[in-house]
Structure 1
Amino acid sequence: MINRIFLIAVILGVPLSVIGHMMHWSDVLMFIIYCLTIIALAAFMGRATESLAVVAGPRIGGLLNATFGNAVELIISIFALKEGLTAVVLASLTGSVLGNLLLVGGLSFFIGGLKFKRQEFNVYDARHNSGLLIFAVIVAFVIPEVFASEMNEAKTMSLSVGISIILIILYLAALFFKLVTHRGVYQHKSEEVEEHEEPEWSMWKAITVLFLSTLAVAYVSESLVSTIEIVSESFGWSELFIGVIIVAIVGNAAEHASAIIMAVKNRMGVAVEIAVGSTLQVAMFVAPILVLVSLMFENQMSLVFTWPELIAMVTAVFLTIAISNDGDTNWFEGATLLGAYIIMGIGFYLI
């Protein structure tokens, strides 16, 4: 039923996005159409990556979900940078970290916990990811803010570029560590007794859907970005709120759906890999790539966030580490993460 609704939304949304853009319909109406269309397209991307995850295994499957889920946000952010909306891009990166750790993780733990009393996942992966989260979010994001007060704009940008290159190298090294040199070394019993599951789509059908969905998202995203400033003025929303909440939720819709589906199926290892792995990918790959891409545009983007953004991200990281480091979760821990996300959402709305 839900899949049928998303199919109808894509069939109607993509043509309406094209027609509305050409005929200059109301920006507020088009903003709504663009958001709903991207969410529907993201659902197809989620189903395709889920099919690939069944074939590839939990770690690679989680990586695929995170990668193609973040592809939507990366596309939106590049077009936003082109329009000079660097504050919106930084806010959307903040929203991705908060959304993945607190919203996606929280919903997965909560909904999965309603069906199963306890859900286990690989404690070694959780501890490995904890160190990377501290490095990527706390070290790499806080350091530029601290040093920027003693630097001019050019030096701050140079620092951001240097940090970005280091983050990308370390992210690729982390993938090499998990998928090549230490693949299977820290295997958890839940991964050994993985029940056999048939993928919904064949590999080539899934790849084709991913490719076409990504092209459609690229087109709709460019149009979405052009409406942000007018929508911000119409509703009285700050660019910070639009970036942290609206753009982040739309951009990460595929991961939200995939992680929850995996949690309901008691494949918590994949759900956690999507939530935490996606956060790491945003912090260590997407954000650095956007910094480097911004060098091609007039308005360059450094890795300098506002203090509310930084404090919110650091809090989310420590709360997630405290809850997930034992490799065991339940619905109450999910509710705790969701409560933190709602509190931060209210704060960003009122700024």
Structure 2
Amino acid sequence: MSTNERLSLASNYISVYGSTTNEDTHGSHKLSSSSSPSTVFHISPPTIRESIKIILSSSKINILLIFIPLGYLAHIFNWSDNWVFILNFLAIIPLAKLLDFATEDVSLRVGETIGGFLNATFGNAVELIVSVVALMEGEIRVVQASILGSIISNLLLILGMCFVAGGYYHSEQTFNQTAAQTTSSLMTLACIGLIIPAAFNFAVKSNFPIIDDGIPINGLLDLSRGTAIVLLIIYVLYLYFQLKTHSNLYQGEADDDDEPKLSLGVSLFLLASVTVIVSFSADYLVGSIEGIVQSSGLSKTFVGLILLPIVGNAAEFVTAINAAMRNKMDLAVNVSAGSSMQIALFVTPFLVLLGWVVGQEMTLYFKSFETVVLFISILITNYLIQDGKSNWLEGVMLLATYVIISLAFLFYPDNLS
């Protein structure tokens, strides 16, 4: 029997499956759950071949998967750093979307609580992998710029595009005001966690200019590590708030129209395999940054803050824009602003503690200009989402802010504090 025939028969007997007593389509008699097993039909999971077809057709972005082997070949045969960077840059974009696809498929099968935890954990997996690789190689400036860039691009670029795209199809859109304000308040707390180390560094250097360099650095490390622990605790409490005590606030953020497309085993295998592939591509990408900085004249800050977040946020960009166009603004705001919050409260402090373990002096001290930029980004986002409504003009404001910041970092040298 073909798959289409099984689907047809299953739809005809839908009133039988999973019910105690139901009327047939003519209402002439009732069928009991004790009916013969032959009247209950189960749709078999997709085969391996069907699963591969589903995965490859899940997004148009998957056409970029051809750049995965090309990126590996560029590294193996020692092509120029420019080619290594570009090819692996393009390769990670579809991998980020596949990671999002696999996470969503698993989440739909394991239930709301575990699914929410998986989305929170793997939602920024690409940014985390790229940052961990850069941290292991001692590229702390790249790590910090990538973190800041991910936060800013989610808040300004992706959320701005959501407001513009949604406002084009709908005059005015609404979203859960309480959930949005909770997210923005947590972002403000995370911003405080970055401003205080910057203020501490400024105060120490201003009042003790002749002090040995090692002393204020050690103090900054201790402050950053302590603050990182506090932020991680807040993140865990937020997960408990979102998934347990106030889950009703976030029920509208799930896309209830979706159903699992793959078997659980295939989804988990896809999740694991894509994570491994991303780690290799990220390793080659980070390793080429030094060369591309020297050949192009771009600063490491610009590469990390503007270019790398485009890779990591590819999945969020597609998901959020599609949600906004379908008038699912709770989902769009959660994907964009919520992703920024997760990076600030989870990824950033996690990297600080990881640096402590592996012997890298990763701190929460961002350069003064970068701290100001983060504060401005959070400030304008808070103003625009506090009323629980959005339109295309508000999106243009966010995009304009992002363009100004991008221009500023294009001309901002790395050697300034």
Same structural fold, with TM-score higher than 0.5 when normalized by the shorter chain: yes
Secondary structure of the structure 1 residue equivalent to 2:362: coil
Structure 2 Cα separation of the partners of residues 122 and 201 of structure 1: 31
Structure 2 Cα separation of the partners of residues 59 and 325 of structure 1: 27
Instruction: Label 1:348 to 1:62 Cα distance change in 2 as closer, same or farther (>3 A).
Output: farther
Corresponding residue number in structure 1 for 2:31: none
Q: How many residues align?
A: 346
Residue 86 (1) aligns with residue 140 (2)? yes
Secondary structure of the structure 1 residue equivalent to 2:124: helix
Residue 6 (1) aligns with residue 61 (2)? yes
Structure 1 Cα separation of the partners of residues 400 and 57 of structure 2: 26
Residue 153 (1) aligns with residue 217 (2)? yes
Structure 2 Cα separation of the partners of residues 179 and 78 of structure 1: 27
Residue 143 (1) aligns with residue 196 (2)? yes
- The Cα of 1:176 is off from its aligned counterpart by 0.3
Residue 126 (1) aligns with residue 180 (2)? yes
- The Cα of 1:196 is off from its aligned counterpart by 3.6
Corresponding residue number in structure 1 for 2:83: 29
Residue 335 (1) aligns with residue 396 (2)? yes
- The Cα of 1:254 is off from its aligned counterpart by 1.6
- The Cα of 1:109 is off from its aligned counterpart by 1.4
Structure 1 Cα separation of the partners of residues 273 and 355 of structure 2: 26
Q: Residues 206-285 of structure 1: matches in 2 within 5 Å?
A: 206-285=267-346
Alpha-carbon contact 2:68-2:91 (below 8 Å) kept: yes
Structure 1 Cα separation of the partners of residues 317 and 282 of structure 2: 19
Instruction: Label 1:114 to 1:59 Cα distance change in 2 as closer, same or farther (>3 A).
Output: farther
Alpha-carbon contact 1:140-1:163 (below 8 Å) kept: yes
Tell me the TM-score normalized by structure 2: 0.77
Residue 166 (1) aligns with residue 230 (2)? yes
Superposition RMSD in Å: 2.5
Secondary structure of the structure 2 residue equivalent to 1:149: helix
| Larger displacement relative to structure 2 (261-270 or 220-229) | 261-270
Alpha-carbon contact 1:69-1:251 (below 8 Å) kept: no
Alpha-carbon contact 2:64-2:93 (below 8 Å) kept: no
Corresponding residue number in structure 2 for 1:305: 366
Unpaired stretches in structure 2, ≥5 consecutive residues? 1-55, 205-215, 413-417
| Larger displacement relative to structure 2 (46-55 or 211-220) | 46-55
- The Cα of 1:142 is off from its aligned counterpart by 0.2
Corresponding residue number in structure 2 for 1:70: 124
Structure 1 Cα separation of the partners of residues 368 and 184 of structure 2: 22
Structure 1 Cα separation of the partners of residues 96 and 88 of structure 2: 12
Corresponding residue number in structure 2 for 1:116: 170
Corresponding residue number in structure 2 for 1:180: 244
Alpha-carbon contact 1:65-1:258 (below 8 Å) kept: no
Structure 2 Cα separation of the partners of residues 327 and 349 of structure 1: 33
Structure possessing the higher relative contact order (Cα contacts under 8 Å, 6 or more residues apart): 1
Tell me the TM-score normalized by structure 1: 0.91
